[in-house]
Protein backbone atom coordinates (compact mmCIF):
# COMPACT_ATOMS: atom_id res chain seq x y z
CA UNK A 1 0.00 0.00 0.00
CA UNK A 2 2.83 2.37 0.79
CA UNK A 3 4.31 1.98 -2.74
CA UNK A 4 1.09 3.26 -4.33
CA UNK A 5 1.21 6.36 -2.14
CA UNK A 6 4.68 7.33 -3.40
CA UNK A 7 3.67 6.86 -7.03
CA UNK A 8 0.77 9.28 -6.64
CA UNK A 9 2.90 12.17 -5.35
CA UNK A 10 3.73 14.81 -7.97
CA UNK A 11 7.19 14.59 -9.46
CA UNK A 12 9.41 17.68 -9.56
CA UNK A 13 8.64 18.34 -13.23
CA UNK A 14 4.88 18.33 -12.64
CA UNK A 15 3.18 21.63 -11.86
CA UNK A 16 0.09 22.21 -9.82
CA UNK A 17 -2.49 24.44 -11.44
CA UNK A 18 -4.78 26.50 -9.25
CA UNK A 19 -8.40 26.85 -10.18
CA UNK A 20 -9.95 30.32 -10.50
CA UNK A 21 -11.74 31.52 -7.38
CA UNK A 22 -15.01 31.96 -9.27
CA UNK A 23 -16.12 31.35 -12.84
CA UNK A 24 -15.89 34.34 -15.19
CA UNK A 25 -19.02 36.41 -15.68
CA UNK A 26 -20.89 35.65 -18.90
CA UNK A 27 -20.62 38.51 -21.38
CA UNK A 28 -23.72 40.53 -22.29
CA UNK A 29 -24.41 43.81 -24.02
CA UNK A 30 -24.51 46.49 -21.32
CA UNK A 31 -26.52 49.02 -23.30
CA UNK A 32 -26.13 51.09 -26.44
CA UNK A 33 -23.55 53.79 -27.14
CA UNK A 34 -24.85 57.35 -26.66
CA UNK A 35 -26.39 58.68 -29.86
CA UNK A 36 -25.08 61.84 -31.57
CA UNK A 37 -28.16 63.77 -30.41
CA UNK A 38 -27.74 62.89 -26.69
CA UNK A 39 -26.71 66.02 -24.81
CA UNK A 40 -25.12 66.66 -21.41
CA UNK A 41 -27.66 66.94 -18.62
CA UNK A 42 -29.40 65.09 -15.82
CA UNK A 43 -30.61 61.55 -16.57
CA UNK A 44 -32.29 58.78 -14.58
CA UNK A 45 -30.25 55.59 -14.66
CA UNK A 46 -29.99 52.14 -13.15
CA UNK A 47 -26.63 50.84 -11.99
CA UNK A 48 -25.73 47.66 -13.86
CA UNK A 49 -22.39 46.87 -12.19
CA UNK A 50 -19.42 48.35 -10.37
CA UNK A 51 -15.85 47.19 -9.76
CA UNK A 52 -12.43 48.35 -8.64
CA UNK A 53 -10.08 48.24 -11.65
CA UNK A 54 -6.53 49.57 -11.92
CA UNK A 55 -6.68 52.16 -9.16
CA UNK A 56 -10.18 53.41 -9.88
CA UNK A 57 -13.80 52.46 -9.36
CA UNK A 58 -15.68 51.89 -12.62
CA UNK A 59 -19.47 52.05 -12.42
CA UNK A 60 -21.71 51.05 -15.35
CA UNK A 61 -25.13 52.65 -15.70
CA UNK A 62 -28.00 52.45 -18.17
CA UNK A 63 -30.47 55.25 -18.92
CA UNK A 64 -34.02 54.21 -17.94
CA UNK A 65 -36.16 57.18 -19.10
CA UNK A 66 -36.85 59.19 -22.22
CA UNK A 67 -35.59 58.93 -25.78
CA UNK A 68 -32.16 57.64 -24.66
CA UNK A 69 -33.49 54.65 -22.69
CA UNK A 70 -31.00 51.78 -22.93
CA UNK A 71 -27.95 54.02 -23.39
CA UNK A 72 -24.90 52.81 -21.46
CA UNK A 73 -22.86 55.33 -19.47
CA UNK A 74 -19.82 54.90 -17.23
CA UNK A 75 -18.39 56.72 -14.26
CA UNK A 76 -14.75 56.55 -13.17
CA UNK A 77 -13.69 57.51 -9.66
CA UNK A 78 -10.00 57.47 -8.75
CA UNK A 79 -9.05 55.61 -5.59
CA UNK A 80 -6.13 56.64 -3.39
CA UNK A 81 -2.88 54.68 -3.67
CA UNK A 82 -2.78 54.45 0.13
CA UNK A 83 -5.96 52.38 0.05
CA UNK A 84 -7.58 54.58 2.67
CA UNK A 85 -10.82 56.30 1.67
CA UNK A 86 -11.38 59.71 3.24
CA UNK A 87 -14.96 60.30 4.41
CA UNK A 88 -14.97 63.55 2.39
CA UNK A 89 -13.57 61.99 -0.81
CA UNK A 90 -15.58 61.91 -4.02
CA UNK A 91 -15.90 58.12 -3.74
CA UNK A 92 -17.21 58.28 -0.15
CA UNK A 93 -19.72 60.99 -1.13
CA UNK A 94 -21.01 58.94 -4.08
CA UNK A 95 -21.27 55.85 -1.82
CA UNK A 96 -23.23 57.84 0.77
CA UNK A 97 -25.77 58.91 -1.86
CA UNK A 98 -26.08 55.31 -3.08
CA UNK A 99 -26.57 53.97 0.45
CA UNK A 100 -28.83 56.80 1.57
CA UNK A 101 -26.62 57.32 4.65
CA UNK A 102 -23.02 58.02 5.63
CA UNK A 103 -20.47 55.30 5.12
CA UNK A 104 -19.43 53.30 8.16
CA UNK A 105 -16.65 50.79 8.86
CA UNK A 106 -18.87 47.81 7.98
CA UNK A 107 -19.45 49.00 4.38
CA UNK A 108 -17.32 47.10 1.88
CA UNK A 109 -15.90 50.00 -0.16
CA UNK A 110 -13.60 47.53 -1.93
CA UNK A 111 -16.69 45.90 -3.47
CA UNK A 112 -18.70 48.77 -4.99
CA UNK A 113 -21.21 46.32 -6.47
CA UNK A 114 -22.68 45.87 -2.97
CA UNK A 115 -23.14 49.63 -2.73
CA UNK A 116 -24.31 50.65 -6.24
CA UNK A 117 -25.60 47.69 -8.31
CA UNK A 118 -29.33 47.35 -8.80
CA UNK A 119 -30.12 50.86 -7.59
CA UNK A 120 -31.60 53.81 -9.47
CA UNK A 121 -30.10 57.29 -9.56
CA UNK A 122 -30.38 60.76 -10.96
CA UNK A 123 -26.95 61.53 -12.47
CA UNK A 124 -25.11 64.42 -14.08
CA UNK A 125 -23.85 63.48 -17.54
CA UNK A 126 -21.34 65.40 -19.62
CA UNK A 127 -18.26 65.28 -21.79
CA UNK A 128 -14.64 65.34 -20.62
CA UNK A 129 -13.91 68.26 -18.27
CA UNK A 130 -10.39 68.79 -19.63
CA UNK A 131 -9.65 70.39 -22.98
CA UNK A 132 -7.30 67.56 -24.11
CA UNK A 133 -7.70 63.77 -24.00
CA UNK A 134 -5.04 63.16 -21.34
CA UNK A 135 -5.32 66.35 -19.33
CA UNK A 136 -5.07 70.04 -20.05
CA UNK A 137 -7.15 72.89 -18.72
CA UNK A 138 -9.95 71.71 -16.43
CA UNK A 139 -13.28 73.50 -16.60
CA UNK A 140 -16.89 72.66 -15.73
CA UNK A 141 -17.90 74.34 -19.03
CA UNK A 142 -15.84 71.75 -20.95
CA UNK A 143 -18.39 69.12 -19.88
CA UNK A 144 -21.04 70.90 -21.95
CA UNK A 145 -19.49 70.32 -25.39
CA UNK A 146 -17.58 67.65 -27.28
CA UNK A 147 -13.91 68.57 -27.86
CA UNK A 148 -12.99 65.80 -30.33
CA UNK A 149 -14.24 62.49 -31.70
CA UNK A 150 -12.83 60.56 -28.71
CA UNK A 151 -14.73 62.72 -26.21
CA UNK A 152 -17.78 60.74 -25.12
CA UNK A 153 -20.53 61.24 -22.59
CA UNK A 154 -19.95 59.91 -19.10
CA UNK A 155 -21.43 60.20 -15.62
CA UNK A 156 -19.72 62.96 -13.64
CA UNK A 157 -21.75 62.70 -10.44
CA UNK A 158 -24.53 60.78 -8.76
CA UNK A 159 -26.95 63.51 -7.64
CA UNK A 160 -29.59 61.48 -5.83
CA UNK A 161 -30.86 57.98 -5.28
CA UNK A 162 -34.21 57.38 -6.96
CA UNK A 163 -37.01 55.00 -6.01
CA UNK A 164 -39.19 53.54 -8.74
pLDDT digits (tens, 9 = 90+) for 99-158: 999 999 899 999 999 999 999 999 999 999 998 888 888 999 999 999 999 899 999 999
Which of 144, 113, 142 is CA-nearest to residue 130? Answer: 142
The domain of 107 spans: 31-162
Q: How many domains does the chain have?
A: 1
Q: Does 25 reside within a domain?
A: no
Q: Does 67 reside within a domain?
A: yes
Residues 6+ apart with CB under 8 A from 74: 58, 59, 60, 61, 154, 155
Q: How many CB atoms are closer than 10 A to CB 148?
A: 10
Q: Does 48 reside within a domain?
A: yes
Q: Does 63 reside within a domain?
A: yes
Q: Does 104 reside within a domain?
A: yes
Residue 7: pLDDT band with limits 50, 70, 90: low
Amino acid sequence: MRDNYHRLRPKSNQKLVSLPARPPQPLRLGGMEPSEDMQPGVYRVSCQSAAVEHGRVVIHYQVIDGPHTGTALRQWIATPTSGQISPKSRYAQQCSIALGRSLDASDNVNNPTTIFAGKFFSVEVGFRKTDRPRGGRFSEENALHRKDTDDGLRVHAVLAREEL
